[in-house]
Amino acid sequence: MRIAQIAPVWYPIPPTGYGGIELVVSQLTEGLVKQGHDVTLFATGESRTDAKLSYVFDEAPSEKIGQVFPDLYHALHAYERAEEFDIIHDHSGKIGPGLGFFSPTPVLHTLHGPATEDAKTLYKALSKKIYFNAISNYQRECYGDLNFVGTIYNAVDLDAYQYNSKKDGYLLFLGRMSPQKGAHVAVQVANKLNKKLFLVTKITEQHEKKYFEEQVKPFLGKNSEVVGEVDLKTKIDFYRHAECTLFPIQWPEPFGLVMIESMAVGTPVVAIRNGAVPEVIVDKKTGFIVNDSVDEMVEAVKKVGSIDPNDCREHVEKHFSTKRMISDYEKAYEHILELEKSKKL
Amino acid sequence: MRIAQIAPVWYPIPPTGYGGIELVVSQLTEGLVKQGHDVTLFATGESRTDAKLSYVFDEAPSEKIGQVFPDLYHALHAYERAEEFDIIHDHSGKIGPGLGFFSPTPVLHTLHGPATEDAKTLYKALSKKIYFNAISNYQRECYGDLNFVGTIYNAVDLDAYQYNSKKDGYLLFLGRMSPQKGAHVAVQVANKLNKKLFLVTKITEQHEKKYFEEQVKPFLGKNSEVVGEVDLKTKIDFYRHAECTLFPIQWPEPFGLVMIESMAVGTPVVAIRNGAVPEVIVDKKTGFIVNDSVDEMVEAVKKVGSIDPNDCREHVEKHFSTKRMISDYEKAYEHILELEKSKKL
């Protein structure tokens, strides 16, 4: 199959630091190449891939994130070549799928973001022409009636995320420095338990700096340590040796890659019930799901010794492996091509 | 001819207050209807037109200005109907022409904005498929090598802008409250001359408020008066009775509707040499063009008595009438249809 993968333009593929969507796009692209497909990745010039790389920006225009021009210029370049492919898989935000509406080649758009009212209205209009997949059933319900071909969970590369059953005594928070991700809650939990906490986080944008200065930094215990963005290997090491990962999510996260990364190496997750969390963690078996309070998280952390690291790993092997994700997307592409064929009859 | 006019989504057509592009789109749309064309105006629901009005937003989403969603949803609605028209004339920003690239119907995009590096890169890429016109020769030179069908100056409705040779002794500034438009310079000029100054202006966005509070308000003389956004009739009255209009423009304005509105009613303009100013004002005949200083403007205002109001009016009648603009656009559409026809041969 001649497949185009359109990545978001804001970070390289794979990401050198922060970038959940970018990691998924990378896994999927490399997996499809290994399956023997003819894959073209539309990303930025410094991306690394075994697919054919096509780009208009040598470097990711991260400093212009959210602006129209980079997003549009990147998507335009991809869709200009639409006729060269059997299917186009678009992971970019709104402008990409907007152009995809006029594509002669069928387009699948993976919903990576939250179902805001604006997003719902736009995607509903695009649904007349393009196909969608959700990344969790929770997200799918939020979006309602779109032209869905299914729910396909994100995945983790089990070869890279090596299992480790021997844990050190620290807690781990991993995520952007944003109130939505709940670093301030993680800090309180660590303080109450008097435990070491590593915060592996991105603090680059103005609002991230403001939140950190005002709501996190003043409360950091002497055992807490803020680590900046790290490379993949270092990140995996943080996961592998943590007693547990805290996922104090403060908004309805549509998936939550952190949870499967953690469980993959055998590290349980203590998470707040929100968004897709109950679809990803098996409560009391691969971690604990609590309601929205610091005290409940504290109590749950005290019990993580009861979780078998092997159960965490097995859960990811079964439901969140890249092998499963790639196979699901291949099936979705084939399904779309069948639907398009029957339309033409 | 079946013509689609795509307005920017941010303000109604015609604008109820601020909105230069919106005024031009309104003039052109109504003029084309009068010429007997079958015109559809893509704008917002509260717009008033004799053309067929088509919209997805009941009210202009002005509070979301600059966001992707309103712009994209509006443009998508228009281009979804592309096949119903012989030509599509797009006045929206970047996303509209981006979708226009994939339109089966030829698209003319009027460049209404400044030639930033990003805009130049994007429009150059779009130039493979869509047509452009500049609104001044200055602007056209800035954009360089695009698929241009010509320069078409903006225009003013001479029936609405009635001539008046009897002036009161006040100065007029009209424009957004932005450093680029130079209200702070107008205030200094009025202070030095100890003359009454009306500032008819928009102060709605955060940066406009900040600029006003910090750089304009503290220097307002007791003879200066800040008037908010006004309706068309009131605006024209301000022009008609002014001794002269100040155009202390601080950036290379690609056209400058204020200058022709003022000259249309017989009111000379004292402007700073920048952007298209020398193409619009005849120095010493319809106003004065000075270099960038308050003192030069002061000296020029002292000499405005030497300008014949009738020369101002005649200059607009000759070069900036809606009749001329509508005829120029009709010719541009016909030229594009010929070019497209010859492409297909």
In tens, the pLDDT along B33-64 reads 999 999 999 999 999 999 999 999 999 999 99
Chain B residues inside the 8 Å CB shell of A118: 67, 69, 73
Give me the residues of A, 294-323, that contact B with CB < 8 A. Answer: none
Best of A58, A71, A72, A121 to disrupt the B interface by mutation (most B CBs within 10 Å)?
Answer: A72
Query: Nearest Cβ partner of A72 from B69, B79, B95?
Result: B95
pLDDT at B151: 97
Q: Is A73 on the interface with B (CB under 8 A)?
A: yes
Beta carbons of B225 and B246 less than 8 angstroms apart: no
Report which secondary-structure segment, H or E, holds A126.
helix A117-126
pLDDT tens digits along A170-203: 999 999 999 999 999 999 999 999 999 999 999 9
Q: How confident is the model at residue A78 (pLDDT cuts 50, 70, 90)?
A: very high
Q: Are A75 and A95 in contact (CB under 8 A)?
A: yes
Mean pLDDT score, A261-284: 97
Neighbours of B114 (CB within 10 A): 15
Which helix H or strand E contains B72, and what residues bound it? helix B68-80
Of A75, A94, A101, the CB nearest to B69: A94
Question: B94, A72: Cβ pair inside 8 Å?
Answer: yes
Predicted pLDDT of residue B16: 86
Say which of A72, A103, A119 has its CB closest to residue B98: A72
Residue range A225-264, pLDDT digits in tens: 999 989 889 999 999 999 999 999 999 999 999 999 999 9
Claim to verify: residue A250 and residue A299 sit in the same structural domain: yes
Q: Which ipTM value was assigned to this complex?
A: 0.88
| Residue B165 lies inside a defined structural domain of this protein | no
State residue B153's pLDDT score. Answer: 97
Residue-wise pLDDT tens digits, B277-296: 999 999 999 999 999 789 99
Confirm whether A161 is domain-assigned.
no
**Interface check B71 vs A, CB under 8 A:** yes
- Name the band, by pLDDT with cuts 50, 70 and 90, for residue A265: very high
Tokens of B127: 């130039």
Residue A165 lies in a domain: no
Kind of pairing, strands A244-247 and A269-272?
parallel
The reply to whether A163 falls in a domain is: no
Burial of B285 (0-12, 13-18, 19+ CB in 10 A): middle
DSSP A214: I
- What is the value of pTM for the model shown? 0.90
What's chain A's average pLDDT?
Answer: 96
Residues in chain B: 345
What CATH number has the domain bearing residue B226?
3.40.50.2000
Tell whether A36 and A112 lie within a shared domain: yes
> Do B174 and B290 belong to one domain?
yes
Give Cβ neighbours of residue A20 (< 8 Å, ≥ 6 apart).
Answer: A112, A154, A257
**Stretch (H or E) spanning B4:** strand B2-6
Same domain (yes/no): A97, A45: yes
B113 near A CB under 8 A: no
The pLDDT value recorded for residue A17 is 77
Cβ-defined contact of A68 to B95 (cutoff 8 Å):
yes
The answer to whether B251 faces chain A, any CB pair under 8 Å, is: no
Across chain B, what does the average pLDDT equal? 96
How many independent structural domains does chain A possess? 2
At residue B17, the pLDDT reads 77
**Assigned domain for B161 exists:** no
Residue B301's alpha-carbon distances to B190, B193, B237, B267, in angstroms, are: 10, 9, 20, 12
Say yes or no for a CB contact (<8 Å) between B73 and A103: no
Q: Is residue A164 part of a domain?
A: no
Window 125-144 of A: residues touching B by CB (8 A cutoff) are 125-126
The verdict on residue B43 lying in a domain is yes
Tens-digit pLDDT profile for chain B (345 aa)? Answer: 999 999 999 999 999 877 889 999 999 999 999 999 999 999 999 999 999 999 999 999 999 988 999 999 999 999 999 999 999 999 998 999 999 999 999 999 999 988 999 999 999 999 999 999 999 999 999 999 999 999 999 999 999 999 999 999 999 999 999 999 999 999 999 999 999 999 999 999 899 999 999 999 999 988 899 999 898 899 999 999 999 999 999 999 999 999 999 999 999 999 999 999 999 999 999 999 999 789 999 999 999 999 999 999 999 999 999 999 999 999 999 999 999 999 887
Residue A77 distance to chain B (closest CA, Å): 9
Beta-carbon separation of A68 and B101 below 8 A: no
Q: How far apart are CA A30 and CA A85, in angstroms?
A: 17
Whether residues A207 and A306 share a domain: the answer is yes
Do B43 and B65 sit in the same domain of this protein? yes
CA–CA separation, B129 and B139 (whole Å): 21
Same-domain pairing of B46 and B71: yes
Q: Do B95 and A98 touch (CB under 8 A)?
A: yes
Q: Which residues from B are below 8 Å from A72, CB to CB? A: 94-95, 98, 122
Contact present, A71 and A90 (Cβ < 8 Å): no
pLDDT at A345 over 90: no
Per-residue b/e over B298-318, b at no fewer than 16 CB within 10 Å? bebbeebeebebeebbbbbbe
Q: Answer yes or no: do A220 and A331 share one domain.
A: no
Give chain A positions within 8 Å (CB) of B67.
Answer: 118
User: What confidence score (pLDDT) does residue B292 get?
Assistant: 78
A70 and A186, same domain (yes or no): no
Hey, what are A181's tokens? Answer: 């991700």
Assess if residue A25 is contained within a domain.
yes
Confidence (pLDDT) at A54: 98
Q: A71 in contact with B at a CB cutoff of 8 Å? A: yes
Q: What CA–CA distance (Å, rounded) separates A49 from A3?
A: 14
Contact between A43 and A49 under an 8 Å Cβ cutoff? The reply is yes
Percent of chain A clearing pLDDT 90 (strictly above): 93
Give the nearest chain B residue to A82 (CA atoms): B102
Residues of B in contact with A102 (CB under 8 A): 79, 99, 102-103
Phi, psi of A226, rounded to the nearest 5 degrees = -90, 120
| A256 touching B (Cβ < 8 Å) | no
Evaluate whether A3 touches A105 at the Cβ level (below 8 Å).
no
| Domain carrying residue A235 | 170-319
Same-domain check for residues B80 and B176: no
Is A79 found in the same domain as A36? yes
A63 inside 8 A of chain B by CB: no
The pLDDT-based confidence of A293 (bands split at 50, 70, 90) is confident
Residues A308 and A191 in one domain: yes
Which residues lie closer than 8 Å to A344 by C-beta, 6 or more apart? Answer: none
| Span A44-76, pLDDT tens digits | 999 999 999 999 999 999 999 889 999 999 999
B72, B125, B126: residue with CB nearest A94:
B72
From the candidates A55, A71, A76, which should be mutated to test the interface with B, based on the most B CB atoms within 10 A? A76
How much is the pLDDT for A196? 96
- Where are the alpha helices (H) located in A194-283, listed in sequence order? 206-211, 232-241, 257-264, 277-280
